[in-house]
Amino acid sequence: MAGGPAVDAVREQIRQWLAEDIGSGDVTTMAAVPAGHLSQGVIHTKQSGIIAGLPLARLVFSVVDPGLRFDQYVTDGDFAEKGTVLALVEGSTHSILTGERLSLNLLQRLSGIASKTNRYVSAAAGLPVRISDTRKTTPGHRTLEKYAVRAGGGANHRFGLYDAVMIKDNHIKAAGGIAAAVRAVKSRIPHTMMIEVEAENLMQAEEAAQAGAHIIMLDNMNTEMMIEAVTLIRRLASHIVIEASGGITEERIAEIGRCGVDVISVGGLTHSFQALDISLDLNGIKKEALL
């Protein structure tokens, strides 16, 4: 998966997810479908949207049965109209039905994230601002969900607590203020690591800029305060990256982008999305006919 997580690590996750679903065996398929039965499964989308996760679907079927053939007709990041055939999987009917749900779960969820991200990115079209995700991801799925954000045209924020400093409200309280927190961090981290500070008001934005923050997050500010904060920060240190976050809706993206911020981070890209409706039909016959 180009630009995505390491294949070996994902394959191991898939084995665990299949074990959770299959357990001691797919009793329905084994009882209802003759051994040796062959089929072609048609994977198609019942909603228009950005597709993400097809390489994962391929991996799922290959782990279930390396003998299955998987032909993909759409690339992750592509927009697919309702009714588009995304891929065909051919071979053992037992294997196709056993891998169907996991492959669709991943494909639907990641495509939902990519589609939502793309709507936010489109709302910011023409503005010098990037749309970013946050750490508000499904436990165990962060790498995949952040991959889906990129497939939708968005950018990734830090991946975890280990790769960047973000001084938030509770850090500020525990450290005794923004300046004290920034001083403490600078004395302990590598000089190559960025420091971001969360600011909830103009006073905190000013203190963060004066303390030497590389990035200042304007958290839950209304438009008027955000414009004031951007003007203040640019006057004090023009090199600081300014991020807007907190309750960002698709309707506010353009308005916020015009405030002069560099990044808009949206937790809802990965915690409040709607999965894209994608199905697998056997030889054009609805899978429900087999139940």
Q: Residue 173, class by beta-carbon neighbours within 10 Å (0-12 exposed, 13-18 middle, 19+ buried)?
A: exposed
User: Is the pTM of the predicted complex or chain greater than 0.95?
Assistant: no
pLDDT-based confidence at residue 286 (cuts at 50, 70, 90): very low
Task: Read off the pLDDT of residues 98-152 as tens digits, 9 standing for 90 and up.
Answer: 999 999 999 999 999 999 999 999 999 999 999 999 999 999 999 999 999 999 9
d(CA 94, CA 32): 10
Task: Determine the pLDDT at residue 117.
Answer: 98
pLDDT-based confidence at residue 291 (cuts at 50, 70, 90): very low
For every residue of 76-103, DSSP letters joined together read: TT-EE-TT-EEEEEEEEHHHHHHHHHHH
Record the tokens describing residue 159, joined without a space.
């991946």
Q: Which residues are CB-contacts of 152 (< 8 A; sequence separation ≥ 6)?
A: 50, 52, 77, 113, 114, 115, 116, 117, 118, 121, 269
Task: Determine the pLDDT at residue 1.
Answer: 54
Domains of the chain, with CATH numbers? 7-121+274-290 (3.90.1170.20), 125-271 (3.20.20.70)
d(CA 261, CA 258): 8
178 within 8 A of 204, measured Cβ to Cβ: yes
Task: Determine the pLDDT at residue 290.
Answer: 41
Amino acid at position 280, single letter: L
Task: Determine the pLDDT at residue 6.
Answer: 78
221 within 8 A of 229, measured Cβ to Cβ: yes
d(CA 148, CA 130): 16
Helix (H, G, I), strand (E, B) or coil at 171: helix
> What are φ and ψ of residue 146, in 5° steps?
-70, -30
Query: H-helix or E-strand containing 107?
Result: helix 93-123
Terminus-to-terminus CA distance in the chain, angstroms? 34
Task: Read off the pLDDT of residues 199-210 as tens digits, 9 standing for 90 and up.
Answer: 999 999 999 999
pLDDT-based confidence at residue 283 (cuts at 50, 70, 90): confident
Residues acting as catalytic residues:
101, 136, 168, 198, 219
Task: Read off the pLDDT of residues 40-97 as tens digits, 9 standing for 90 and up.
Answer: 999 999 999 999 999 999 999 999 999 999 999 999 999 999 999 999 999 999 999 9
Task: Read off the pLDDT of residues 144-185 as tens digits, 9 standing for 90 and up.
Answer: 999 999 999 999 999 999 999 999 999 999 999 999 999 999
